[in-house]
Amino acid sequence: MDMTQAILLTIATAATPLLIAALGELVAERSGVLNLGVEGMMVMGAVTGFAVAYTTGNAWLGMFAAILAGAALALLFAFLTLTLVANQVATGLALTILGLGASAVIGESFVGLPGVKLPSLNIPYLSDVPLIGKLLFGQDVIFYIAMVLVIGVSWFLFRTRAGLQLRSIGDNHSSAHALGINVVRTRYLAVIFGGACAGLAGAQLSLVYVPQWVENMSAGRGWIALALVVFASWRPWRVLIGAYLFGAVTIGQLHAQAFGIGLPSQFMSALPYLATIVVLVVISRNRRLTMMNTPASLGKSFVPDR
């Protein structure tokens, strides 16, 4: 039972950054904006969170700084793509390269230093329940924020007027504009929210998952988060399921190596990314389902009528 509990805890820890980053990107894509800079925003959140936490000795300040760093990069992306109407794909890729390069420069002096870990909650009696106690009642605050985000994003998108307007922009921005909806402002807010989520996901990596800074520590998780949005058909609850499936694959390959399964370690390390490719291939085969759920204005620039 102790082994099972340990595995479940590590799966939850590995899935949390994927879940948060994917939820933020889901909101942005529902508004019709394709931001491929999730990886860059995530790694900037990781280095900023670690740097502030190490400098101040306060992990909470590090977490908030990471959120602001991700939101700042997202604001840059929004300005380039929504105001200057730059190509979203090219700008997103440039943002990832910028984030990876800037994080390496900022984090150079922090490599190898001991980090400040975000404390875990410990609810008396409840956290001592066998198997599920620590999983549900002994996690760090970012885990609970991720759960609240799943509920909140789902409620916002499908139960509120603002969510309906955001989805209408993603489906047909010209019609939404004709109805008086401020397309550019709504997309700005959606993109900034996505960046804040990516920054928080990065903070989880450097303040919880591995409380230290390692260059490029996001290790492709931003790309997996992008794939998760497609895997989930732009539905928040499906993102939750997908994140834990990918988290299980990530942790599973680590335990498989520990148990001495006779497969090359390089192959085992590549399993999460191979799983991502397989999922995308399977989804793309059902073209009707993909087209039905994809926001029709996704990736398309909008210039309001003068």
For residue 305, being part of any structural domain is answered with: no
**56-84: per-residue pLDDT in tens?**
999 999 999 999 999 999 999 999 999 99
Q: What's the pLDDT score for residue 258?
A: 61
For residue 176, being part of any structural domain is answered with: yes
For residue 306, being part of any structural domain is answered with: no
Q: For 58-120, what is the HEC assignment?
A: CHHHHHHHHHHHHHHHHHHHHHHHHHCCCCHHHHHHHHHHHHHHHHHHHHHHHCCCCCCCCCE
**150-186: per-residue pLDDT in tens?**
999 999 999 999 999 999 999 999 999 999 999 999 9
Indicate the residue type of 82.
L
Q: What's the pLDDT score for residue 266?
A: 67
101's CB contacts (< 8 A; 6+ apart) are none
For residue 302, being part of any structural domain is answered with: no
CB 167 within 8 A of CB 187: no
CATH number at residue 243: 1.10.3470
Q: How far apart are CA 41 and CA 273, in angstroms?
A: 20
For residue 59, being part of any structural domain is answered with: yes
State how many domains the chain has. Answer: 1
Q: Which residues of the chain have pLDDT under 70?
A: 1-2, 254-266, 268-269, 284, 286-292, 306
For residue 141, being part of any structural domain is answered with: yes
Indicate the residue type of 138.
G
For residue 228, being part of any structural domain is answered with: yes
Tokens of 209: 């998952």
Could you tell me the residue range of the domain that residue 251 belongs to? 2-293
Q: What's the pLDDT score for residue 82?
A: 95
